[in-house]
Chains A and B, each alone.
Chain A
Amino acid sequence: MSLRDLCQRLQDLSFPTDIRESDWLFPSIETVHVLALVLVVGSILMVDLRLLGIANRARSVRSITAERLPLTWAAFAVAAIAGALLFSSKALTYYDDLPFRVKMACLLLAGLNMTWFHAFTFRHVAGWDHGRPPAAARIAGGISLALWIVIVGAGRWVGFTT
C-alpha cells in the first residue's frame, strides 16, 4: 500500500470526513491550530533573538528559555493535534501540496536543529549565559528563526493552494 493509498484511507474515515464536510468543524480546528502556532512561533522567536544577541540581552539565556519553553511545548502539542486533524480531513490534497511538503520539511529541520542545540551547545550554557552567545548558539538561533518564518509562510500558502 502506498503513502497515497494510506492518505486516501485516512481521509475516508468517519471523523476526517465529518471535519471535511462540516461548515464549522474545519474552521474551528483551524482556529485552534492558528492560536497554538502563534504561541509556538512567538515564544521561539524571542528565544532565537536572545541567542542571536539581538533582544533581551540584559537577561540570561537560561531565564528566558525557562520562561518561554514550557509555553512553546504546550502550544506545540495543541498545534500538532489540531494540525493532524486538519491533515486527516484532506490527507491526499495536503500530501500532494508543495507548500505543505515544504512546511513539514522545515518543521523536521527545525526539530533537528533544536535537538542538536539542546544536546550539544546548550550543555555549556553556564559559560555564556549572561554574555554574548557563542557562534554555535547564534547559528542555531538564526537557523531556527529562518525556518519558523518559512513554516509560517508555507502554512499560509497552503490556504491558497488547497
Chain B
Amino acid sequence: MISQFCKWLDATPLSQTFQSLVWFVPTVQTIHILSIAVVMTSVVLVAGKLIGLSGRAQTLAAMLSSALPWVWWALAALLTTGLLLIIAEPGRELLNNAFRAKMLLVAGLAGILRFVQVRLRHDADYWNHRRLAAGGLGVASLLLAVTIIVAGRWIAYI
C-alpha cells in the first residue's frame, strides 16, 4: 500500500516539479540540516543540565524556557522540509527502514522534551527533587538525538 502511495505521489505534478529542479533537494536538505543543528545543540545543553554536567549559570527552568521555543520551531521546520523531501523523493524516504526508525525516534525525543517541560510548568523544582529520573531522561534524550542523526544519514546508504 505504501509502495503504491509512493508511486502515486512520485507521479504528481508537484513531485515532478521538485524532481526537475536540480537545486531543490540540496537546498531543502540544507535547511533541514540547519534545523537539526538547532535541535541537537539545544538537546545537548538541556541534557547536560538534566544529567548535572552543566554549570550553575542558569537554572534548568531558565534554560528550558530559553531553549525549548527554538526546539519546537526547529522541529516545525524539520517537519516542513521533511514533507517537501518526501514529496520530491517518496520512495527514498517512505520505503526506507532507516527513515521509519528515525520518525519513531523523533516522536520519542519530542515526547521526552515535552514531558520535561510540562512537569516544570507545574513545579519549577520538580526535576531538582528527582535527580536520578532527570539524569535518565537527559541520557535518553542524548542517545535519541544521536541515533536520529545516524538514522537520517544512513537513509542514503540503506
A-to-B contact residues, CB < 8 Å: 27, 30-31, 34-35, 37-43, 45-46, 55-56, 58-59, 63, 66-68, 71, 149, 152-153, 156-157, 159-160
Hey, what's the 0/1 contact readout for B41-55 against A, CB within 8 Å counting as 1? Answer: 110110000000011
CB distance from B21 to the nearest CB of A (A): 13
CB distance from B32 to the nearest CB of A (A): 9
A-B contact count (CB 8 A): 81
Q: Of the 9-residue stretches B11-19, B110-118, B125-133, B147-155, which lies at the interface with chain A?
A: B147-155
Give the B interface residue count (CB, 8 A): 29
Please name all residues of chain A whose beta carbon is closer than 8 Å to the beta carbon of B70 when the two chains form the complex: 46, 55
A41 engages B34 (CB within 8 Å)? yes
B30 on the interface (CB 8 Å rule)?
yes
Q: Is the interface of B mostly helix, strand, loop or mixed?
A: helix
Closest to A23 in B: B157
B57 engages A67 (CB within 8 Å)? yes
A38 engages B40 (CB within 8 Å)? yes
A38 engages B41 (CB within 8 Å)? yes
Q: Which of B27, B38, B154 contacts A45 (CB 8 A)?
A: B38
Closest to B34 in A: A152
Closest to B48 in A: A71
CB distance from A42 to the nearest CB of B (A): 3
B37 engages A34 (CB within 8 Å)? no
B33 on the interface (CB 8 Å rule)?
yes
18 contacts between A and B (CB under 8 A): A30-B153, A31-B149, A31-B153, A31-B154, A35-B150, A38-B149, A39-B37, A39-B41, A39-B44, A41-B33, A45-B41, A58-B66, A67-B55, A67-B57, A67-B58, A153-B27, A156-B26, A159-B156
Closest to B45 in A: A67
A38 engages B37 (CB within 8 Å)? yes
User: When chains A and B are docked, how far (Å) is the Cα of A149 from the Cα of B34?
Assistant: 8
CB distance from A60 to the nearest CB of B (A): 9
B146 engages A35 (CB within 8 Å)? yes
Closest to A161 in B: B26
A34 engages B41 (CB within 8 Å)? no
CB distance from A155 to the nearest CB of B (A): 8
CB distance from A129 to the nearest CB of B (A): 13
